[in-house]
Amino acid sequence: MNVADSLRVASALERIGYRPTPRAEQADVIVLNTCVVRQSAEDKAYGRLSSLRPLKAARPDLVINLMGCLVGVKGHDRLKARFPFVDVFSPPSDPGPLVAHLTQGETRLLDQAETEQRFLAMDGDLTLPLDERGKLVATHVPVVLGCSHACTFCIIPYRRGVERSRPVGEIIAEIRVLVAQGVKEVTLLGQIVDRYGKDIPDGPSLAGLLRLAQEVDGLERIRFLTSHPNWMNDELLQTVAELPKVMPHIEVPVQAGDDAVLAQMHRGYTADDYRRLVERIRQRIPGVSIATDIIAGFPGESDARFQRTYNLLDELKLDVAHLARYSTRPGTVAERRMHDNVPEVEKWRRFRALEELQEGIAAEISARYLGENVEVLFEEKVRGRWRGRTPTNKLVFLESDQDLRGRLRNVTITWTGPWSMQATLPGQPQFIQPVEMLTLAS
Ligand code: SF4
């Protein structure tokens, strides 16, 4: 979501004449877009913000904009007192306050609310920043902003506000513009993306939105994330199975495999519900890949409860598990009502146990691709190798002198590891993965 928000800010700044610079020291405006979903992200944001203080001291005309979840949607008086050198504070997804600040000389007759209104109206024609046009192959399009669920560990509803769906026409217009600028793949974003349209009377559901996006000429692939187990209905699964541009990849977090922990998290489902959902997804979408999220060390997670999470991951053999160690987020229900009673060292142990387990599962799943022909959309060249993704979102590297940016190619998988694969184009000599020398003892 933050990557999408940053693109939106860059695009808004370009419209009023700004251009990117490679170094912060050369900039007239610095936007620090922040995440606070975990303590480590928040610490990083504060560290980066403090590192900007000397730049502002040396050049008082430099404009510093703090944006995103650190600011939130409910005012920023405390931040202002702590970081007086910040000129503008912006809530997530909103370039309006910065643009109003930068253009205040020219728009003396407009107050900030009017300027923001104008930007809201312009949201539908997002253009990519110049240096991304024709280069960016895959990008994100927010479709649902905020979240109205109340998972006890989560800070997002407090920082990104209540759930609201963007109008369908605005989303499709934005996708068309992105495609005209070279984008081939879009990922539709929402904290619970499956709830798209629930707040728009007579508006389409996510399935309906996918059908409309499918019709956009020149768009090759569509993905969406993140799903919630309670909102993935059969209509949606059927639509993913039917539409050729919608990729068979589902991101649906379980967070824990123990019912007591899930109840404490206020997730609204049980481990068995999640098992049945995975079965349903696999039945309806052949060859689907599934990613999940898990938090290790939630308050009250005993050894036995953790073991149930471990066992669930082992049993379901999902393609990807995004793992996190629990950290208390100020202002959440968990912070107010629960005791963070799993020692840090134990959180790490559980995290590593899950990580090791998932590495084995991912390696096993990837190995099934060996020798297979798969279609890959190539995005960019990284250190001499093209990087792309399969329909199931597996990362593929390929060595070639051809320009493959934005190209869909059938390739042969020649090597697999847990996190990536190596491939060749048809007729291309095989890349030989270096192997360790074996020394045989006599
Ligand atoms: S569904 Fe729960 S975890 Fe996801 S953003 Fe909303 S409150 Fe946070």
Say if residues 207 and 222 touch (Cβ distance below 8 Å): no
CA of 87 to the centre of ligand 1 (A): 31
- The atom number, within ligand 1, closest to the CA of 255 reads 3
Quick one: CA torsion of 277, 283, 289, 291, rounded to 10 degrees? Answer: 0
Least confident window among 35-39, 178-182, 191-195: 35-39
Nearest CA residue ID for atom 2, ligand 1: 151
Does 339 score more than 50 pLDDT? yes
**Which residues touch 211 (CB under 8 Å, ≥6 apart)?**
204, 239, 243
DSSP label at residue 370: T
CA of 132 to the centre of ligand 1 (A): 31
Stated pTM of the model: 0.86
Say if residues 86 and 65 touch (Cβ distance below 8 Å): yes
Instruction: Please give the full DSSP string across 80-93, using - where no structure is assigned.
Output: HHH-TT--EEE-TT
- The atom number, within ligand 1, closest to the CA of 147 reads 6
Question: Strands 408-416, 421-424: parallel, antiparallel or unpaired by DSSP?
Answer: antiparallel
**Which residues touch 384 (CB under 8 Å, ≥6 apart)?**
399
The set of protein residues with a Cβ atom below 6 angstroms from ligand 1 is 147, 149, 151, 154, 156-157, 191-192, 228
pLDDT of residue 108: 44
Q: Which two tokens stand for residue 135?
A: 């280069």
Which residue out of 35, 69, 152, 154 has the highest number of ligand 1 atoms within 8 Å of its CB and is therefore the one to mutate?
A: 154
Say if residues 295 and 153 touch (Cβ distance below 8 Å): yes
Higher pLDDT, 427 or 228: 228
Give the separation between CA 284 and CA 152, rounded to whole angstroms. 32
pLDDT of residue 436: 38
pLDDT of residue 434: 44
Element (H, E) at 259: helix 259-265
Least confident window among 70-79, 260-269, 392-401: 70-79
Does 49 score more than 60 pLDDT? yes
Nearest CA residue ID for atom 1, ligand 1: 149
pLDDT of residue 160: 87
CA of 144 to the centre of ligand 1 (A): 12
131-137: long-range contacts (C-beta < 8 A, 24 or more apart)?
A: 131/20, 132/7, 132/10, 132/181, 133/181, 133/182, 134/181, 134/182, 135/182, 135/380, 135/405, 136/181, 136/182, 136/183, 137/182, 137/183, 137/184, 137/185, 137/377, 137/378, 137/379, 137/380, 137/405, 137/406
Which residue out of 191, 195, 267 has the highest number of ligand 1 atoms within 8 Å of its CB and is therefore the one to mutate?
A: 191
- The atom number, within ligand 1, closest to the CA of 155 reads 8
Nearest CA residue ID for atom 4, ligand 1: 191
pLDDT of residue 44: 92
- The atom number, within ligand 1, closest to the CA of 226 reads 4
Does 433 score more than 70 pLDDT? no
pLDDT of residue 257: 98
pLDDT of residue 121: 44
pLDDT of residue 331: 87
pLDDT of 307-318, one tens digit each?
999 999 999 999
Does 438 score more than 60 pLDDT? no
Element (H, E) at 367: helix 344-367
pLDDT of residue 78: 85
pLDDT of residue 1: 86
pLDDT of 89-105, one tens digit each?
998 888 889 999 998 76
Give the separation between CA 179 and CA 176, rounded to whole angstroms. 5
Does 437 score more than 60 pLDDT? no
Give the separation between CA 150 and CA 148, rounded to whole angstroms. 6
Mean pLDDT of 383-409: 97
Give the separation between CA 334 and CA 328, rounded to whole angstroms. 7
Mean pLDDT of 410-415: 97
Does 120 score more than 70 pLDDT? no
CA of 146 to the centre of ligand 1 (A): 9
Give the separation between CA 99 and CA 15, rounded to whole angstroms. 10
pLDDT of 246-294, one tens digit each?
999 999 999 999 999 999 999 999 999 999 999 999 999 999 999 999 9
Q: Which two tokens stand for residue 379?
A: 């995005």
* Bridge partners, residue 96, by sequence: none
Helix, strand, coil % over all residues of the chain, rounded to 5: 40, 20, 40
Helix and strand element counts for the chain (H, E): 14, 16
Helices (H), 103-151: 112-122
Q: Which two tokens stand for residue 216?
A: 């956009």
Mean pLDDT over each residue of the chain, to the nearest integer = 90
pLDDT of 206-225, one tens digit each?
999 999 999 999 999 999 99
Nearest CA residue ID for atom 5, ligand 1: 191
CA of 364 to the centre of ligand 1 (A): 31
- The atom number, within ligand 1, closest to the CA of 228 reads 1
Mean pLDDT of 177-204: 94
Report CA-CA distances (Å) from 413 to 177, 362, 433: 34, 16, 12
Read off the amino acid at residue 148. S
DSSP label at residue 255: B
